[in-house]
């Protein structure tokens, strides 16, 4: 089998890397392997090293990408594939939506020197759906243009994936750009959805099979009595704004009424989007019990297996889970990448962004 070494920037706890590992089961010609990874949060790096095959203290670097030199990465290992989910804060539909002019927007450019230096066979870039409309759509075109011109040039297929349509028990919509080096004369097609007629529900994901008692990252969050009282009036699928709350339990918040505030899961539907940041009321709430989900339950909604153990404090783990790419979603994309390289046909669809 031909080994395809993968380098990552903004690697997170390892959602993409784990997805690539899982994809190896479907290919007889190619084997995706970890080469190196960079992230600027120490607990996240610890999680990656503890769970991803081949990851070591030397290959996984805790550093700001702005301070990371490509020549140093080259000393660790060459790569045939490159993946990065550059920070999405400025492209999110929640907030000021600064796009490419924001603090995080330009961070996509740090992938360009990697492509220039290594000229990998392919790359995978991930971001939120809001990237399409940032700066009146100009940011997205700029990013695509810059990536296509990097290295020897890349043929890029961007696509808005609705991960619940691929078996992920969560309504998580992300733009993923897959680029193949132009001299390979390969064109990537998005894999066809597998769960259009039957989604995996949040209850099924969390309860089947039951999480074992004492499982890692399964500690309950201490709920304030006022939160417990408020949750008693919120039915499955409702939030603090749509529920019929008594006056003394209503939220006195100016500005946007974010739909995820104290929102209970609907047990018969995929979860709403699991996030890694935010204050009270954004922790994802159980459909029946008057509490927030545990991190292990949140990890299930993100398709991390129970033996994937997150490192760090409870809040650090919550952040890692919410910021990650669902491994099951990444697996489907890497399986399609392997089949594209192999010249095999697979069930695919036309890009919805081309």
User: Is 335 in a helix, a strand, or coil?
Assistant: helix
Please choose, from the candidates 180, 182, 188, the residue with its C-alpha nearest in 3D space to the C-alpha of residue 81.
180
Tokens of 91: 């492209």
C-alpha torsion sign, points 140, 71, 75, 148: positive
User: Is 283 in a helix, a strand, or coil?
Assistant: coil
How crowded is residue 120: how many other Cβ atoms within 10 Å of its Cβ? 25
- Count the alpha carbons within 13 Å of 30 in the hemisphere toward its beta carbon: 22
Contact call for residues 77 and 71 (beta carbons, < 8 A): no
C-alpha torsion sign, points 193, 197, 203, 204: negative
Q: Which of 23, 73, 88, 124 is catalytic?
A: 88
Which residues, in sequence order, are CB contacts of 25 under 8 Å at separation 6+? none
For residue 258, report the phi and psi dihedrals to the nearest 5 degrees. -65, 130
Please choose, from the candidates 339, 343, 209, 220, the residue with its C-alpha nearest in 3D space to the C-alpha of residue 289.
220
Give buried/exposed letters for 263-272 (b at 16+ CB in 10 A, else e).
Answer: bbbbbebbbb
Q: Environment class of residue 145 by beta-carbon count within 10 Å: exposed (0-12), middle (13-18) or buried (19+)?
A: exposed
Between CA 129 and CA 313 the distance in angstroms is 29
Phi-psi region of 132 (alpha: psi -120 to 50; beta: other; left: phi over 0): alpha
Clarify whether 62 is annotated catalytic.
no
CA angle 213, 217, 222 (to 5 degrees): 85
Longest dimension (CA), the chain: 65
Please choose, from the candidates 175, 177, 183, 76, the residue with its C-alpha nearest in 3D space to the C-alpha of residue 119.
183
The residues assigned a catalytic role are 88
């Amino acid at each position: 089998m031909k080994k395809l070494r993968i380098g990552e920037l903004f690697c997170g706890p390892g959602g993409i890397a784990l997805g690539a590992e899982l994809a190896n089961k479907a290919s007889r010609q190619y084997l995706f392997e970890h080469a190196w990874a960079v992230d600027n949060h120490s607990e996240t790096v610890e999680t990656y090293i503890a769970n991803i095959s081949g990851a070591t203290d030397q290959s996984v670097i805790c550093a700001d990408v702005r301070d990371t030199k490509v020549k140093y990465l080259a000393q660790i290992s060459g790569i045939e594939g490159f993946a990065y989910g550059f920070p999405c804060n400025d492209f999110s539909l929640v907030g000021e939506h600064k796009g490419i002019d924001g603090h995080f927007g330009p961070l996509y450019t740090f992938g360009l020197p990697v492509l220039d230096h290594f000229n990998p066979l392919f790359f995978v870039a991930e971001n939120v759906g809001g990237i399409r409309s940032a700066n009146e759509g100009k940011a997205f075109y700029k990013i695509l243009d810059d990536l296509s011109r990097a290295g020897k040039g890349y043929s890029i297929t961007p696509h808005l994936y609705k991960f619940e349509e691929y078996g992920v028990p969560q309504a998580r919509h992300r733009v993923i750009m897959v680029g193949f080096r132009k001299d390979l004369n390969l064109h990537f097609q998005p894999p066809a959805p597998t769960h259009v007629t039957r989604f995996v529900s949040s209850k099924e994901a969390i309860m089947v099979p039951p999480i074992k008692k004492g499982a890692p990252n399964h500690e309950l969050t201490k709920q304030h009595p006022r939160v417990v009282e408020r949750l008693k009036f919120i039915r499955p699928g409702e939030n603090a704004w749509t529920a019929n709350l008594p006056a003394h339990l209503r939220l006195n918040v100016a500005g946007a009424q974010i739909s995820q505030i104290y929102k209970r899961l609907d047990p018969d539907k995929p979860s709403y989007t699991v996030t890694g940041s935010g204050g009270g009321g954004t922790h994802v709430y159980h459909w029946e019990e008057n509490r927030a989900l545990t991190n292990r339950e949140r990890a299930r909604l993100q398709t991390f297996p129970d033996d994937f153990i997150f490192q760090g404090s409870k809040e650090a783990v919550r952040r890692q889970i919410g910021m990650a790419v669902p491994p099951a979603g990444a697996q489907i994309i890497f399986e399609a990448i392997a089949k594209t390289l192999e010249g095999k046909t697979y069930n695919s669809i036309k890009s919805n962004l081309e």
